[in-house]
Amino acid sequence: MEIKLNGKKVKANEGEYILDVAQRENIYIPTLCDHPAVKPTGACRMCLVEAGVEGRKKKIVTSCAFHVKQGLEVNTDTPTIKEARKVVMDLLLARAPNSESLKEMAQKLDMETVSTFEPVENAGDCILCGLCTRVCDEVVGANAISFNSRGADMDVGGPLLDVPQDCIGCGACAYVCPTDCIGLKDDGEKRYLEKWDRELPLMKCRECGWPFMPAFQAIKFNESTKVPKDFFKLCPDCRN
Amino acid sequence: MVKVNSPKALEEIIQKKKKESGKEGTYISICGGTGCIASGGNGVLEAFQEVIADDPDVKLVRTGCHGFCERGPLVVIQPQGILYQKVKPGDAADIYEKTIKNGEIIKKHLYRDQKKQAYEKEADVPFYKFQKRIVFKMNGHIDPEKIDDYLAMDGYSALSKVLTSMKPDQIIDTVIKSGLRGRGGGGFPAGIKWKSTKAATGDKKYVLCNADEGDPGAFMDRSIMEGNPHSVIEGMLIGAYAIGSDEGYIYIRNEYPLAIKRLKVALEQAREYGFLGKNILGTDFSFDIKINRGGGAFVCGESTALMLSIEGKVGRPRTKYIHTADSGLWDKPTNLNNVETWANIPHIFNKGVDWFTSIGTGDVSEHPWGGSKGTKIFSLVGKVNNTGLVEVPFGITLRDIIFKIGGGIKNSKKGRKFKAVQTGGPSGGCIPEKHLDEPVDFDGLTKMGSMMGSGGMIVMDDHTCLVEVARYFVDFLKDESCGKCTPCREGLRRMSQILNRIVVGEGKEGDIELLEKLASAMEISSLCALGQTAAYPVLSTIKYFREEYERHIKDGYCDGKQCTELIRYNIDEDACTGCSICAKKCPTKAISGELKKTYRIDQSECVRCGVCFNVCNFNAVEILSGSEIKEKMGE
């Protein structure tokens, strides 16, 4: 099918989201809570665009979660959109004043990299985008962390904000976190995830002795990936 | 109980129940709604049960809510329709002897208006006289826990009519033509929703009832369920038949124990008669309803959050680019309507589209958005003389609701005046006096910068601070936001901070503009309607009362004399007669003085509760704010 992106006709495929097409066409849409490994959620609200089928009134939608359809016209940088994104970014910067990626994104949006609001107390640079919880659920299947409470009190962590006992220490959360606020540290024979206050022993490679993977992760991944039983006994280097 | 397995059997049982009901003779209707029970209604009921125990000619009906909760417990003597208010158990014998046996009116139990005029009949009391009760019509007459009472008033005859004489498409067409719009807040035409759900692909479809009534002060849905649960069930049955669904849920908040109990009883009785279950009235149509209790989150009234909550998940709204009509509960096509919407359905089929469209505003012959048809129940609360639930036709003016039905502003003799009316719940707006004569309907309220919402209506007098009102609602929503999307969660956090500093006199230059900027971003970028409308209380108060915000910020002056940090209570020595009542009532003993001379308030002890102001009979207590404090008190 064909859609119009900022006035230009482009090809799009059934089932794609607006954001997918824009990224392929090198049209910049800022986004924080989207990741190809998980389903879209539309939480951060940075990827807003104006979209509508030709001839009908355009609506403001999140491009990460809006499917393309024949005749769709999308504008990614109208003054309304730009202004809304700036307000959203300003609010997020107050949660994550130390995040380099947010500052970079703010620069691209042509705005200050310091929030006009005072920092949110105890936010710890987390913008509550939910990528960590979704990847833990949808990809890893551990479901160790989730959102707690609601509204302005919302936070993310283990059940009742206690240490997540189901965390296998795989580090997928830290890998996808857009503000790098989880704090994964491998220290000798232990792995520590600072945000969750979770410490796990690392299993050593049978060949070279490198402590490369938490045992819980090996068990879980063995189950879910159906690799040979001994697969995780070796570190990635010794496997080849 | 015999199963009613054909339309003919239903007709027979309706006639039988009419004869058995005894409603031709004298009956005493005692309100058994939550409001009247709270004010002692159960005791009144028991007292009457005892008093009439030996009189077979008099019947007692424990009914649902009559709406005039403030005056409860309410007792109505039928068929004359005599209304007695604030009845106590000890009054039962007297009422039976005098009124029921001898036809004598007991004046002290009658309702009196502000001019002390007494009214004998319920229908003449201004609170009722200017209403148009359709959905609430049966509330004062039937026992909600007796399906026979509902049957005796032609209950389930609309269901029988559609099952025997109408095709699903005709039913949907009728609902579209009636112009019925959703009473829960959105105002979306119910028939269009039904049509989409019917057209959606899938064998399994759900029909839901949204009974998660969460707006502060709104309780019309509760009263419908407590007073006439079968009307909701019948509405859902008709909807389910038209849409092609065999399973329904009523999602009701757990804070409504009486409504849950009565719904359960009603569902059980409907099943016994065969109105729910397999092969209803002997047709191929099967449908049943389950009750799902909500855990108390305001946001679960939002459709997608409600569905997730039924599934046992956290109630956080999702994007609705794929409509719930196509993929809702458990990803199946789902139709959700509010309690009041469902309760309207049987009336539309019993009395017809022409009758329904004759009530209300606009023209819906082209499309249902063309107007607002039928009635709407508002919960009229705040600074009016008569508070309670009022059912009015669309098109009535705000002035008629507040001054005719509501009896005007409370304490108007003390100089209190109308200032604004807040409609539509926490996301609604405040409407000033200049719009009082405009008709109330879906589009009218939106034009005035507010909304219909679920029908909350809070009247405010000149001793109300609109900045404080906005702060209250923003703080409510800040706590009730699900927290998922940035603009709602963080925007409300910031709005709350700004408003909380303005009401204590620490507002900054630019705060109003900042509120406006946040409001506009939240409106366009929030995920669900909670966030999109959360800023309305702020926007509407800034729109109509901007100067009050400015005075708070620049002069530390509160127009409503309500923001405790910005006001001082002071006793005018010239007006004070030294009666000492203020000193006696002051909870912190901050007032001292000498009898028959004058009294003074120790500001360091005063907590600014306003008791002295309310009890003074000589208008000697004044409330000062801003520069007045310095001028009069030298502070």
Reported as a single tens digit per residue, the pLDDT across A42-99 is 999 999 999 999 888 999 999 999 999 999 999 999 999 999 999 999 999 999 999 9
Query: Chain B contact for A189, CB < 8 A?
Result: no
| C-beta atoms of B491 and A91 within 8 A | yes
Pair B161, B175 in one domain:
yes
Neighbours of A161 (CB within 10 A): 14
- CATH number for the domain spanning B515: value is 1.20.1440.230
| C-beta atoms of A43 and B484 within 8 A | yes
Burial B465-499 (b: 16+ CB within 10 A, else e): bbbbbbbbbbbbbbebbbbbbbbbbbbbbbbbbbb
B491 min Cα distance to partner chain A (Å): 7
- CATH number for the domain spanning B324: value is 3.40.50.11540
Per the domain annotation, does B432 fall within a domain? yes
Query: Chain B contact for A231, CB < 8 A?
Result: no
Pair B305, B351 in one domain:
yes
pLDDT at position B454 is 86
Pair B295, B333 in one domain:
yes
| C-beta atoms of A150 and B297 within 8 A | yes
Considering CB atoms only, which of A66, A80, A154 is closest to B489?
A: A154
Pair B180, B64 in one domain:
no
Per the domain annotation, does B199 fall within a domain? yes
Per the domain annotation, does B216 fall within a domain? yes
Per the domain annotation, does B574 fall within a domain? yes
Q: What domain range is B394 assigned to? A: 374-464
A115 min Cα distance to partner chain B (Å): 12
| C-beta atoms of A92 and B490 within 8 A | yes
- CATH number for the domain spanning B61: value is 3.40.30.10
Query: Chain B contact for A53, CB < 8 A?
Result: no
| Top-confidence residue, B217 or A196 | A196
Among B68, B95, B129, residue at a domain's last position: B129
Query: Chain B contact for A92, CB < 8 A?
Result: yes
pLDDT at position B470 is 96
pLDDT at position B427 is 85
Q: How far is it, in rounded angstroms, from Cα B75 to Cα B80? A: 12
Say how many CB pairs under 8 Å bridge A and B: 106
Reported as a single tens digit per residue, the pLDDT across B577-601 is 999 999 999 999 999 999 999 999 9
Burial B402-432 (b: 16+ CB within 10 A, else e): bbbbbbbbbeeeeebebbbbbbbbbbbbbbb
CA B239 to chain centre: 24
B334-338 vs B288-294, strand pairing mode: unpaired
pLDDT at position B34 is 92
Helix (H) or strand (E) holding B147: helix B147-152
In chain A, what residues touch B316 (CB-CB under 8 Å)?
147
How many domains does one find in chain B?
5
The whole-chain average pLDDT of chain A stands at 95
Pair B262, B189 in one domain:
yes
Strands (DSSP E) found in chain A: 2-5, 8-11, 48-53, 59-62, 72-75, 146-148, 155-157, 184-187, 190-193, 198-204, 211-214
Chain B neighbours among A 100-129 (CB < 8 Å)? 117, 120, 127-128
Query: Closest-CA residue in chain B for A64?
Result: B319
Reported as a single tens digit per residue, the pLDDT across B494-520 is 999 999 999 999 999 999 999 999 999
Helices (H), B312-452: 339-351, 353-357, 398-399, 442-447
pLDDT at position B414 is 83
Residue B483's closest CA among A157, A127, A182? A127
Q: How far is it, in rounded angstroms, from Cα B267 to Cα B211? A: 15
Residue B579's closest CA among B622, B623, B621, B624? B621
Pair B105, B198 in one domain:
no
CA atoms within 13 A on the CB side of B281: 24
The answer to whether B29 touches B61, Cβ cutoff 8 Å, is yes
Residue B320's closest CA among B537, B535, B530? B530
Among B371, B400, B415, residue at a domain's last position: B371
**Structural tokens at position B609:** 């509760």
Q: Which residues pair with A156 in a beta bridge?
A: A147
Pair B214, B124 in one domain:
no
Pair B388, B323 in one domain:
no
Q: Which residues contact B363 (CB under 8 A, 6 or more apart)?
A: B370, B371
pLDDT at A229 over 90: no
| C-beta atoms of A48 and B525 within 8 A | yes
**Structural tokens at position A131:** 């990528």
Q: Rounded to 5 degrees, what angle do the CA atoms B258, B262, B268 make? A: 150
Pair B209, B330 in one domain:
yes
Give residue A12's pLDDT band: very low, low, confident or very high (50, 70, 90).
very high
Q: Which residues contact B472 (CB under 8 A, 6 or more apart)?
A: none
Backbone phi, psi, residue B205, to 5°: -135, 150
Residues in chain B where the model's pLDDT stays below 70 = 1, 22-23, 635
Residue with the two structure tokens 């009336």: B347
Q: Could you tell me the end-to-end alpha-carbon distance of chain A, in angstroms, rounded to an integer?
A: 43
Residue B222's closest CA among B262, B276, B182? B262
Backbone phi, psi, residue B215, to 5°: -65, 130
Taking any CB pair shorter than 8 Å as contact, residues of chain B touching chain A are 297, 299, 314, 316, 318-319, 321-322, 477-487, 489-494, 496, 517-518, 520-521, 524-527
Per the domain annotation, does B137 fall within a domain? no
Q: How far is it, in rounded angstroms, from Cα B127 to Cα B135? A: 16
Among B495, B521, B555, residue at a domain's last position: B555
Query: Closest-CA residue in chain B for A40?
Result: B319
Per the domain annotation, does B8 fall within a domain? no
Neighbours of A103 (CB within 10 A): 16
Q: Rounded to 5 degrees, what angle do the CA atoms B284, B289, B293 make? A: 170
Backbone phi, psi, residue B325, to 5°: -65, -25
Per the domain annotation, does B134 fall within a domain? no
In chain B, what residues touch A148 (CB-CB under 8 Å)?
none
Pair B41, B164 in one domain:
no
Q: Could you tell me the end-to-end alpha-carbon distance of chain B, in angstroms, rounded to an integer?
A: 78
Considering CB atoms only, which of A44, A66, A149 is closest to B486?
A: A44
Question: Is the bond preceding A164 in cis, omega lying within 30 degrees of 0?
Answer: no
| C-beta atoms of A150 and B517 within 8 A | no
Per the domain annotation, does B173 fall within a domain? yes
**Over A151-205, what HEC string results?**
HHHCEEECHHHCCCCCCCCCCHHHHHCCCCCCCEEEECCEEEECCCCEEEEEEEC
pTM: 0.94
Backbone phi, psi, residue A122, to 5°: 55, 25
Pair B366, B378 in one domain:
no
Pair B107, B167 in one domain:
no
